């Protein structure tokens, strides 16, 4: 392996790994073998991967090495794909050709996908090698990645705690070094929540920025795709692969990430549209992270002032109506409905009992909420808050259960409404960003006495993804 030892390979950032692969210092085969060994060794304790596709990954690495050799031989190495040979993984809501997409549900038949979904096709076209599928909650509905088909996804920094959701398996894989970075999808916090729990940079781009991230049947246009990474530069590299070149900033995201932004007016807010329905308390560790992030931003020359945001208290019902509409229409055989988790089964039943008029009213309200909220945010360049109101939660905490890591028995039962309430109290500042279609980023800035990561969330204006990555890079440097 050229001049790189296995230990060196584990320590490389995604950008450094990309450079080693592009130069030929490291072959795609060597890189893929290394990360597959890491998965084989460590995933049994983490539950990050549901499916490992070692054989197809090695075949893809072989093809990548052949292509690299041919382009070099012909003097066309500049034509090499941006992410040539880079290993990654896709959450188990994303179709990857020849691999079952479980959607985290025991109620579905797990047949191999006939072709790549848009997200996988885009990144494979940029040269990535998929190592497998990562753990998710059932249908991506929850802020934790526990289901009935496989062991829960655990937090690499504290194995008794959750890695978050719905991109929880992907976040655990990145934080543990099983892949250098990974794409996530975010419809209500599903990139930022696991990023906050696992100490990663997690960017939710604005609506429409990543064309391959849109989700079919998402009537509220909540879902987007974005990067989970250990550094802002690594997240920027993945953004360069996700965003069409003609829609990217001049020079691309990575080329701009290291530039310091002009002094910004930042509004600090702890207001949440969930507070009236689910009054929540903020743990001291979250406030410690907020104080540290504020201090670092002010040292960088930005002005942080309190922002009082007023949210319409009809939001929780409207968001929940839109959020759960898709599970109501999911094709599930009647005899398999009993295999759904209690939360999914409860919200599916309610969605099916709801009229189309009720859903349309909720969608109309959310569009008005979007306009009202963006108007208030416009007084500041960026809105600041903790990523999460609490430290990463123990496995089983949301469901009132708790288990050893084995798949749940079919008779498992829990209180769906208590589960949902706990999620909203845990992550009270995430879903409204999806409703507004704005970009937002979670950045780790603090560690608790027990070593748990805590982060801050920065919400930007439309088109401010580069700015958010620049702020993340500055916070890293601090």
Catalytic residue among 27, 91, 133, 431: 91
* Among candidate residues 199, 229, 168, 191, the one with its CA nearest the CA of residue 46: 168
Is there a catalytic annotation at residue 166?
Answer: yes
Is there a catalytic annotation at residue 163?
Answer: no
Is there a catalytic annotation at residue 204?
Answer: no
Please tell me the distance from the alpha carbon of residue 337 to that of residue 341, in angstroms, as a whole number. Answer: 9
CA triple 193-197-203, angle to 5 deg: 45
Taking a C-beta distance cutoff of 8 angstroms, is the pair 197, 289 a contact?
no
What are the distances in angstroms from CA 263 to CA 178, 365, 380, 455, 471?
37, 35, 12, 21, 11
Instruction: Find the helix or strand (DSSP H, E) in which 49 lies.
Output: strand 49-52
Catalytic residue among 105, 153, 158, 166: 166
CA triple 201-205-207, angle to 5 deg: 160
- Helices 356-377, 315-323: inter-axial angle, 10-degree rounding: 120
* Among candidate residues 362, 278, 368, 366, the one with its CA nearest the CA of residue 328: 362
Please tell me the distance from the alpha carbon of residue 461 to that of residue 374, in angstroms, as a whole number. Answer: 8
Taking a C-beta distance cutoff of 8 angstroms, is the pair 157, 175 a contact?
yes
Is the N-terminal amide bond of 350 cis, ω within 30° of 0?
no
Q: What are phi and psi of 211, to 5 degrees?
A: -60, -35
Residue indicated by tokens 């259960």:
401
Please tell me the distance from the alpha carbon of residue 57 to that of residue 43, in angstroms, as a whole number. Answer: 17
Catalytic residue among 145, 162, 190, 464: 190
Q: Catalytic residue numbers?
A: 91, 166, 190
């Amino acid at each position: 392996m050229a001049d790189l030892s296995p230990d060196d390979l584990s320590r490389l950032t995604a950008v450094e790994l990309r450079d080693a692969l592009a130069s030929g210092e490291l072959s795609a085969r060597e890189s893929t073998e290394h990360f597959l060994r890491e998965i084989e060794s460590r995933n049994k304790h983490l539950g990050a991967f549901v499916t490992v596709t070692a054989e197809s990954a090695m075949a893809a690495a072989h093809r990548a090495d052949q292509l690299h050799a041919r382009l070099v031989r012909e003097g066309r190495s500049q034509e090499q794909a941006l992410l040539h040979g880079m290993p990654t993984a896709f959450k188990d809501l994303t179709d990857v050709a020849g691999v079952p997409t479980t959607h985290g549900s025991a109620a579905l038949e797990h047949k191999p996908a006939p072709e790549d979904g848009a997200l996988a096709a885009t990144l494979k076209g940029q040269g990535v090698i998929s190592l497998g599928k990562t753990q998710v909650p059932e249908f991506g509905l929850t802020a934790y990645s526990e289901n009935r088909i496989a062991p829960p996804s655990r937090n690499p920094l504290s194995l008794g705690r959750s890695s978050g959701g719905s991109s929880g398996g992907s976040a655990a894989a990145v934080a543990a070094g099983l892949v250098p970075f990974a794409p996530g999808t975010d419809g209500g916090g599903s990139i930022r929540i696991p990023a906050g729990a696992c100490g990663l940079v997690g960017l939710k781009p604005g609506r429409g920025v990543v064309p391959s991230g849109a989700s079919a049947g998402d009537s509220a246009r909540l879902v987007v795709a974005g990067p989970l990474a250990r550094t802002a530069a690594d997240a920027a590299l993945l953004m360069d692969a996700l965003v069409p070149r003609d829609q990217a900033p001049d020079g691309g995201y990575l080329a701009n990430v290291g530039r310091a932004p002009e002094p910004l007016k930042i509004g600090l807010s702890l207001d949440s549209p969930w507070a009236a329905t689910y009054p929540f308390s903020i743990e001291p560790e979250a406030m410690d992270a907020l104080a540290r992030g504020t201090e670092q931003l002010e040292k960088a020359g930005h002005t942080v002032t309190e922002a009082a945001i007023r949210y319409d208290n009809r939001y929780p019902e409207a968001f929940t109506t839109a959020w759960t509409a898709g599970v109501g229409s999911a094709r599930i055989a009647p005899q398999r409905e009993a295999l759904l988790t209690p939360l999914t089964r409860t919200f599916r039943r309610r969605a099916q009992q709801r009229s189309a008029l009720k859903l349309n009213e909720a969608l109309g309200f959310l569009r008005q909420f979007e306009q009202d909220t963006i108007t208030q945010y416009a007084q500041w360049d960026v809105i600041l808050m903790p990523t999460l109101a609490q430290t990463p939660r123990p496995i089983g905490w949301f469901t009132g259960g708790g288990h050893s890591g084995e798949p749940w028995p079919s008779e498992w039962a829990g209180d769906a409404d208590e589960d949902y309430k706990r999620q909203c109290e845990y992550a009270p500042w995430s879903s409204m960003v999806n409703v507004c279609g704005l970009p937002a980023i979670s950045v780790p800035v603090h560690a608790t006495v027990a070593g748990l990561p805590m982060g801050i969330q920065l919400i930007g204006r439309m088109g401010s993804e580069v700015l958010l990555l620049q702020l993340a890079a500055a916070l890293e440097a601090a």
